[in-house]
Amino acid sequence: MEALSMKTESIHRDAIIIDAVAPLLERKKYVESYKTGGVTCVAPTVSGGSSSSPAAALQLIGSWLRFIRSREDLKLVRKASDIEDVKRDGQMGILFHFQGTLPFGTDLDLVEAFHSLGVRMVQLTYNRRDYVGNGCEEEIDEGLSNFGRKLVRRLNENRIVIDCTHTGYKTTMDALSLTTQPAVFSHSNSAVIFPSKRNINDDQAKAAAATGGLVGVTVVPFLTVPANGGSARPSLDDLIAHIDHFVSLVGIDHVGLGLDYWWGTLPFSDVETVIEMWEHYVSAGMWNPAVYPHPPHYYPPEIETPEMLLGMTKGLLRRGYKEGDVHKILGLNWLRVFRQVWGA
């Protein structure tokens, strides 16, 4: 048993681990949590929700650039080799990710501007309709707008990863048929296992894989198992069931992690503050309580915080995944996508 534990720790320590969605890093102190968990590259949300703007995104990116510059153990990720470099050098990579396209407004030239500042992955919508198309919580999905089609092409030209999470079915399928680069669902689980507007259908996962992209599974509890009033606590096996499903559907090379930790679901969060935030997002129309149930919400106890991500490696090995496949799920599949889109 001790030898098995040491082997697991060795696999985890040697792996390139990429968590492609980390709104928890709205609070930069949690950088230490990801480092403790062995993460090689993590993607803070530098613009998110339905109320962002070019100015807000610019301010947040500026604060991140200053923070990274102040730390010798962090590096801004601009190309795939940066991730390999930080692994070798004992650093951690920071990947800028937009959850929504509102920072571009209707000015396509802002794609070049934000690319120059390090933005390397952009989600098309956040639940609601915007200039690009429809979010996943809209009752009617008319697909990509004319502006949305132009934006997809411009993102391709700038070699920015297109992310279809939080986006309506037809809008995603339009984007996936139009893109010339691998596209992803950075943090989405299977609607076959648990029907939810925020989860994705099999044909969406297949379409993303057909571009060369992947699906990143998320640890968010109410996207993993049905939550009774938001209080259900899924197990790690509940989460890995979504990985199993996507692996059987699209293959081992097209599944990764987009765990989507945020401070409101950590075990020591102030529940009253979380409820106030939930009420704000619901009243603003950004969260539908039928999809985002009332807090509290709980992560699987095996990986309750980013510090505990060794538990993910243990769980995958326990489930029967071979060492090479564990490495792919933990990060190598994301690295392949990044190399294809960004270049080496």
168's CB contacts (< 8 A; 6+ apart) are: 125, 133, 134, 135, 136, 138, 141, 143
- Written as one letter, the residue type at 244 is D
pLDDT level of residue 331 (50, 70, 90 thresholds): very high
What residue segments make up the domains of the chain, in order of their start? 2-342
For 68-90, the pLDDT digits (tens) are: 999 999 999 999 999 999 999 99
The stretch 294-319 carries a mean pLDDT of 93
User: Quick one: CA dihedral 292, 134, 164, 169, positive or negative?
Assistant: positive
Alpha helices in 179-309 (DSSP H): 202-210, 236-250, 271-283
CB atoms within 10 A of CB 72: 10
Long-range CB contacts (within 8 A, 24+) of 77-82: 77/41, 77/118, 77/120, 78/118, 78/120, 78/342, 79/338, 79/342, 79/343, 79/344, 80/335, 80/338, 80/339, 80/342, 80/343, 80/344, 81/344
Count Cβ atoms below 10 Å from residue 108 Cβ, excluding itself.
16
Look up the CATH architecture of domain 2-342.
Alpha-Beta Barrel (3.20)
State yes or no: pLDDT of 232 exceeds 80.
Answer: no
The mean pLDDT of 3-18, rounded to a whole number, is 91
Give the closest residue to 86 by CA, choosing from 340, 338, 341: 338
Q: With beta carbons less than 8 A apart as the criterion, state whether 254 and 209 touch.
A: yes
pLDDT value, residue 336: 98
Which of 124-128, 157-161, 291-295 has the weakest average pLDDT? 291-295
**Confidence (pLDDT) at 227:** 52
Q: With the CA atoms of 41, 305, 61 and 97 taken in that order, what torsion angle do they form, in degrees rounded to the nearest 10?
A: 60
Segment 32-55, tens digit of pLDDT: 999 999 999 999 999 976 558 999
More confident residue, 14 or 271: 14
Q: How confident is the model at residue 145 (pLDDT cuts 50, 70, 90)?
A: very high
Torsion sign over Cα 69, 70, 75, 76: negative
How many whole angstroms separate alpha carbon 327 and alpha carbon 339? 16
Q: How far apart are CA 38 and CA 49, in angstroms?
A: 28
Residues in the chain: 344
The pLDDT value given to residue 228: 47
- 179-189: average pLDDT: 98
Would you state the pLDDT for residue 1? 62
Cβ atoms of 5 and 27 within 8 Å: the answer is: no
Q: DSSP characters for 62-77? A: HHHHHHHHT-TTEEE-
4: enclosing H helix or E strand: helix 2-14
- Specify whether the CB–CB gap between 246 and 255 falls below 8 A: yes
Residue of higher predicted confidence among 296 and 315: 315
- pLDDT at position 51 is 57
Q: What pLDDT does 4 receive?
A: 65
**Predicted local distance difference test score (pLDDT) of residue 286:** 78
Percent of the chain with pLDDT over 70: 95
Q: What is the mean pLDDT of the chain?
A: 93
